[in-house]
Amino acid sequence: MSGKGGSGKTTISGTLARLIGRSGKRVLAVDADSNPNLALTLGLSTGSYDLINPLPHGLMEHRRVNGEVQVSLSRPVEELTQDYAVDCPDNVSLLVLGPPGGAGTG
Amino acid sequence: MCSSHATVRGLLHELPTGDLDVVVVDNEASPEHLSRSTTEAVDVMLVVAEPYFKSLETARRYAGLGKDLGIANVVVVANKVRGEDDLSAIQGFCDSHDLKLLGAVPFDETLAQAERSGVPPLEHDPGAPSVRAVEGLVEHILRLVAA
């Protein structure tokens, strides 16, 4: 989901994720905005915000395979969703990416 | 590329796992999130556009980037549409730039009320015109994801 600031990306993303979830699909909503706000639209109560544990930086590792640099997650993705994703209503779980601040990893 | 973009890239490459059917990513309002290695794993890119020139120009640029990066389904969702004039302006813009308009979400006072009271649109009024319109997008999107 992309678009200009204020265009309604978050409202549409969150509502869409829940309605897809209600159709019977299991949905992971990823909040990749540096000012994360998706939780509210997803119906997570403000009291549960403390449960949100943003995905830390530095999860990408560079490996050299046959002379070529490959970049991949340093931990299995299932483990990350298990540790960091928060259950929301309607078959949706939410993963929030930590705000930027660290040095770029390429 | 900042590290959160790199993380999205890694996640999208390794998701969905067996337990997940659909991943919805709410992106930053800057085109930095778009790069070939991120978009390889994307089935559908939804570009939200409001019916005014700067928003449409932004949508056109993002959609162009998405297409250049090889995303098979780049579609526009019109938002805050106040009537036929708005809709035909967006439709005309999409037609003249070879963009597919997937659907339109109307301007909806109930959304503003929901925002003011800090309640999600679905809890505030599940029958609101904007919510119904997003509901109408679900089937289209799932069809594109499955294709």
Please give the domain boundaries of chain B with CATH numbers for all domains: 1-15+24-41 (no CATH), 43-146 (3.40.50.300)
Of B8, B105, B121, the CB nearest to A97: B8
Q: What is the pLDDT of residue B3?
A: 56
CB contact under 8 A, A2 and B50: no
Burial (CB < 10 A; 0-12, 13-18, 19+), residue A10, is: buried
- Alpha helices per DSSP H over chain B: 3-14, 36-39, 53-68, 84-96, 109-117, 121-124, 129-146
Structural domain contains residue A3: no
Which among A6, A32, A60 is the nearest to B26, CB-wise? A32
- A85 lies in some domain: yes
Tens-digit pLDDT profile for chain B (147 aa)? Answer: 455 667 777 788 777 656 678 999 998 877 766 777 677 788 999 999 999 999 999 999 999 999 999 999 999 999 999 999 999 999 999 999 999 999 999 999 999 999 999 999 999 999 999 999 999 999 999 999 887
Amino acid A16: pLDDT: 97
DSSP E strands in A47-101: the ranges are: 60-65, 68-73, 86-87, 92-96
A104 touches chain B (CB under 8 A): yes
Mean pLDDT of chain A: 85
- The pairing of beta strand B44-49 with beta strand B73-81: parallel
Q: What is the dihedral of CA B16, B135, B131, B45, to 10 degrees?
A: 50
Interface membership of A105 toward B (CB under 8 Å): yes
Phi-psi bin for B84: left (phi > 0), alpha (psi -120 to 50), beta? alpha
Nearest by CB: B4 against A13, A15, A100:
A100
A104 pLDDT exceeds 70?
Answer: no
Structure tokens at B115: 């925002």
Residue A36 resides in a domain: yes
For residue A33, is it within any domain? Answer: yes
Of B7, B55, B130, the CB nearest to A7: B55
* Sign of the C-alpha dihedral computed for residues B93, B94, B95 and B99 taken in this order: positive
Structural domain includes residue A80: yes
The SS3 call for residue A103 is coil
Say if CB A40 and CB A17 are below 8 A apart.
no
Q: Which residues of B touch A16 (CB under 8 A)?
A: 24, 134, 137-138, 141
Other CB atoms closer than 10 Å to residue B137's CB: what's the count? 21
- Using the beta-carbon criterion (under 8 Å), do B141 and A20 form an inter-chain contact? yes
* A4 found inside a domain: no
Residue A105 placed within a domain: no
Interface test with A, best of B1, B5, B7 (most A CBs within 10 A): B7
Q: Are strands A68-73 and A60-65 parallel, antiparallel or unpaired?
A: antiparallel
pLDDT band at A106 (very low <50, low <70, confident <90, very high): very low
| A102 pLDDT higher than 60 | no
pLDDT on residue B47:
96
Cα A72 versus chain centre, distance: 17
SS3 A91: coil
Q: Which of residues 37-66 of A touch B (CB under 8 A)?
A: 38, 40-43, 46, 55, 57-60
**Stretch (H or E) spanning A9:** helix A9-22
pLDDT of amino acid A17? 97
Interface predicted TM-score (ipTM) of this complex, two decimals: 0.91
Residue A14, pLDDT > 70, answer: yes
pLDDT band at A26 (very low <50, low <70, confident <90, very high): very high
Which chain A residues have a beta carbon less than 8 Å from that of B21?
A: 25-27
- Structurally, chain A folds into a number of domains equal to 1
pLDDT of amino acid A64: 76
Residues of A in contact with B1 (CB under 8 A): 104-106
Output the pLDDT for position A78: 84
Q: Please classify residue B99 by burial: count the beta carbons closer than 10 Å to its beta carbon, then call 0-12 exposed, 13-18 middle and 19+ buried.
A: buried
pLDDT of A18 higher than 60: yes
pLDDT tens track for A33-89: 888 899 999 999 888 888 899 988 778 777 777 777 777 788 888 888 899 999 999
Residues 6 or more apart in contact with residue B26 via CB below 8 angstroms: A1, A9, A10, A13, A14, A29, A30, A31, A32, A33, A38
Residue A66 lies in domain: 9-46+54-96
